[in-house]
Amino acid sequence: MIELRSVSKEFPGGRKALDDVSLTFAAGTVTAILGPSGAGKSTLLRCINGLETPTAGGITVNGIEVSPRKLREIRREVGMVFQHFNLVPRLNALTNVLTGSLSRVPMLLSLFYAFPRDEIRRAEHHLASVGLAEHAWQRVDRLSGGQQQRVAIARCLLQQPKVILADEPVASLDPETSREVMQILVRAATENQMALVVNLHQVDIALEFCDRIVGLRHGQVVIDDLAENLTSEKLQSLYGQS
């Protein structure tokens, strides 16, 4: 579903965020990206969805080469879940979810938030699937952080992506809510045969919910193994002193 081929990303000033990264992510799998701050985790996701352009190498998503000319196609295939939710605070939960259908809705209708009835039904379904059916008409800035993240996940699912990229989706949530959000993400990925790639700082969450662990350090892959094979020695090599 996702293939990175010798991907490097260097920013102005010579800082290399990714260094010759080659990875594949299959449909229906759940992968945690671990690593210290500045290891390149967010840059990796941003390259996959086209927000950043690699300095070298190539990336394909569902057979589509990621390039500036193919961004619209890529955005249809890739759903994003962010740490800070990226919702419109003054809009209700249902309308925020409906923004996930903008790639399918005529521009004029989208400007006035006039969504087709079938999209509204899908949005209601996805809100119900994340346990928020009764909050459909509530402004999202009046919801808790965990509820807002579930709205963001429902919006992502309405997009009907083949891939979900989640960048620190539980970093601002308490432990119980973090597990609820991860359960929703993992269930959606496995039931819909999507590849889920999630950046995490919490090793315990990664071990509990993810099939595979990829460890990044200084922009390089230093771990790529099943979660059950992650040892304290491997974690030390990932997070230990430079």
**Domains, the chain, ranges and CATH?**
2-239 (3.40.50.300)
CA torsion through residues 242, 196, 118, 138, sign: negative
Given pLDDT bands bounded at 50, 70 and 90, which one contains residue 72? Answer: confident
Distance CA 165, CA 138 (A): 26
Residue range 52-63: mean pLDDT, rounded: 95
Per-residue pLDDT of 7-42, as tens digits, reads 999 998 888 999 999 999 999 999 999 999 899 999
- CA angle at 210 for the pair 205 and 212, rounded to the nearest 5°: 125
Helix, strand, coil % in the chain, rounded to nearest 5? 40, 25, 35
- pTM of structure: 0.90
